[in-house]
Amino acid sequence: MIVVTGASRGLGQAICERLVSNGHEVTGLARTASDAGPVPILACDVSSADAVKQVARTIKADGKPVTGLINAAGIAAMNLALTTPPALASTIIATNLLGTIYCCQAFAPLLIRQKGGAIINFSTIAVHLGLKGESIYVASKAGVEGFSRAFAREMADFGINVNCIAPGPIDTDLLRGISDKQIDRILRQQIFNKQFAPEDVCDLVDVLLDKKSAALSGQVLHVGGV
């Protein structure tokens, strides 16, 4: 079984659909539970360590081996650092960075039981580009990248690889409210001056979950190129 956070929309939902089409059993996590989509979704606010621990216990009790964790839950906000309300800054850090850490802490032991597996965390191309107006978001995702590199070393002895995917602008709900001008400014800084689709991200997920990529760990893969 593969656990996917942020499974109710955007990249998380697209990843779930791809995994199911590839024959994987998937359990999704999102703030609201649902049985209407391609995979069952359990309610879990990843910014709450207690909530993550509880849902991990539920999945463990189900008895199905967990071989993968994909941390796709995240929020973004286009705000200058000086005008970002403290409450919003806390929410971004708690969801993007702490949420990733909490899920790794809760689910990595289930992968260790299987003596192998893959963890994929999500960052953003904005970290490398240092995008103006995304300071807090960039800080949260830079933390994810640093955590992933160090955590990869901790998991290596258990045969678990840990990597990051850092997309440029992808056509999902996360881009809602961002102007075409802002998106174009980002695209011009990528190696490929084009907007990629969720399917392109799913292709990288397929690669990182494949056993042929078992030697690849601690890496950040940029969709769009930097």
Averaged over 110-138, what is the pLDDT?
93
Confidence of residue 109 (pLDDT cuts 50, 70, 90): very high
Environment class of 215 (CB within 10 Å of its CB; exposed 0-12, middle 13-18, buried 19+): exposed
Model confidence over 18-47: pLDDT tens digits?
A: 999 999 999 999 999 999 888 999 999 999
Q: How many helices (H) and strands (E) does the chain have?
A: 8, 7
Q: How many angstroms separate the CA atoms of 226 and 209, rounded?
A: 23
Token pair in block for residue 130: 């240092």
Q: Taken in order 210, 215, 220, 221, is the CA torsion positive or negative?
A: negative
Token pair in block for residue 2: 């593969």
Confidence of residue 85 (pLDDT cuts 50, 70, 90): very high
For residue 65, what is the DSSP state? P
What is the set of domains in the chain, with CATH numbers? 2-221 (3.40.50.720)
CA distances from 13 to 36, 74, 166, 218, 222 (A): 12, 13, 17, 25, 20
What is the separation of C-alpha 132 from the centre of its chain, rounded to a whole number of angstroms? 22
Model confidence over 148-207: pLDDT tens digits?
A: 999 999 999 999 999 999 998 887 766 665 667 778 888 888 888 888 899 999 999 999
With beta carbons less than 8 A apart as the criterion, state whether 69 and 104 touch. Answer: yes
List active site positions.
137
Averaged over 57-61, what is the pLDDT?
97
Amino acid at 160: I
Confidence of residue 77 (pLDDT cuts 50, 70, 90): confident
Query: What's the chain's average pLDDT?
Result: 93
